[in-house]
Amino acid sequence: MNQLREHWTGRIGFLMAAIGSAIGLGILWKFPYTVGENGGGLFLLSYLICLVVVGVPIFIAELILGRSSQRAAVGAYEHHDRKGGVWKVTGWFGVLASFLIMSFYSVIAGWGMSYILMSLNGFYQSLSGEEVAAAYGALVSSGDISLFWHFLFTLITTAIVLSGVRKGIEKWAKIMTKILLVLLVLLFCYTMTLDGFGRAVEFIFHPNATNFKLSSLIEALGLAFWTLSIGQGIMISYGSYMKRTESILQMSGIVAFSVIVVAVLAALVIFPVVFTFNLPPKAGPGLIFQTLPYLFAKLPGSLVLSTMFFTLFVFTALTSAIPLIEVVATNIMELKNVSRKKAALMVGAATFTFGIPSAFAGSGMVFPDWPAIYGMNFLKTIDSLVSIWVIPVGGLLSALFVGWVMDKKVLREEFVFGTKIPALYYPWRFFIKWIVPLTIVVIIIQKSGLYDFNRLMGA
């Protein structure tokens, strides 16, 4: 099977796919409101440190696992496990994470598609803030409408994956990643003209300890996972499509730098709009769907501006949804020896079906007693399960495997190939063996509620 494996046409293909995967809703949806909730500049600094200290080492490790084995997540661990395949369960954590994320991710992305149509119709131009928020509430509570967009988004994503690595994933990653970058730059240029741009720059870059707690640092650690697509088996699959001639260290550095730039640009697109109308930046998850549409309607060229923004939103969702389907499909292809088309259709149908309760989560039409039993609706339950347990535990097991189990000779060969700084191998291995596992354990303890580390600061 390895001899028949597709590969990227070149480094641009890999970079566009990897950057597109990383620049998902974690950047455009989660990053800005998390910055707002945790004090701005000091949180951004913490996030950058966490990205370099924790995110990049695991990113490199997953690429090494994929390229050295020429296998997807489950097969990669099986290939490198010298003691009989026990560690392949780590690969299943990535498969599970991707499957669960896609099931509700497509629902949220579907809401973005709905907002494109709403923007083109100029629906919320004459509405008050309360009416815009009510429109979002109506969308979320309309299970049939959410289901329609959930189906359409899943269908588009599946169609791209079943076309193959070069003709599907790489081709569309190049197109969509370029378009979303252009849209982001155009929106950034527009927000530079707004009155709130200066305040936004100060908020994002000026360290402010007022709202920063120890839990904010842990939040930054968790966000580093989301914004690099690690712990989900994605980079193992993408690494397996890399040619042996590419430098993993160089490619990882470019992707990480791109993620940082886009994250900052996304914040500089959203917060100038918020500050222009003197609203608090702590708007939470409702910032995208409730606050921004109302504010866009007050700005010149609101129809074009709003449509561009939600098109950007959907494109970022698509570029990161593609690898979610791909991870599950490629593992099925290898383990069950089925065709790509059949595997992609199976995964698309399965994620759509499992996501139906998430589409109806706001309406209560499916599993109406779920919130009373589990404390939150179905969509939030799956999101919480993945964020608190599946991704961090998968990342922890990955770090332990690469740092302590995997053959040192293979690790060093893959790491130093093509790099001009081979000495970085030793600090990287130290981080992957000791620092990364420790910080992930801290994330799990804090987010699961086992212990609140804010107590250490008397907060």
At 41-52, the pLDDT tens digits run: 888 888 999 899
pLDDT one-digit tens code per residue, 251-296:
999 999 999 999 899 889 999 998 999 888 776 667 788 888 989 9
When pLDDT is cut at 50, 70 and 90, the band that residue 27 belongs to is: confident
Find the mean pLDDT for residues 357-376: 96
How many domains in the chain?
A: 1
**Residues 6+ away with beta carbon under 8 Å from 121:** none
pLDDT one-digit tens code per residue, 125-160:
888 888 998 999 999 999 999 999 999 999 999 999
Q: What is the CATH number of the domain that holds 387?
A: 1.20.1740.10
Q: pLDDT at position 57, please?
A: 95
Range of the domain at 400: 2-457
Least confident of 35-44, 152-161, 304-313: 35-44
- Nearest residue to 252 (alpha-carbon basis) of 81, 102, 57: 57
- Residue 436 is which amino acid? V
Least confident of 122-126, 211-215, 324-328, 367-371: 211-215
Least confident of 228-242, 268-282, 313-327: 268-282
**Residues 6+ away with beta carbon under 8 Å from 324:** 98, 99, 101, 102, 105, 157, 232, 234, 351
When pLDDT is cut at 50, 70 and 90, the band that residue 33 belongs to is: confident
Q: How far is the C-alpha of 286 from the C-alpha of 272, rounded, in Å?
A: 17
What's the whole-model pTM score?
0.93
More confident residue, 150 or 30: 150
Of all residues in the chain, the percent with pLDDT exceeding 90 is: 67
Find the mean pLDDT for residues 234-258: 93
pLDDT one-digit tens code per residue, 155-187:
999 999 999 999 999 999 999 999 999 999 999
Q: pLDDT at position 116, please?
A: 96
When pLDDT is cut at 50, 70 and 90, the band that residue 314 belongs to is: very high
CB atoms within 10 A of CB 193: 10
CB 63 within 8 Å of CB 241: no
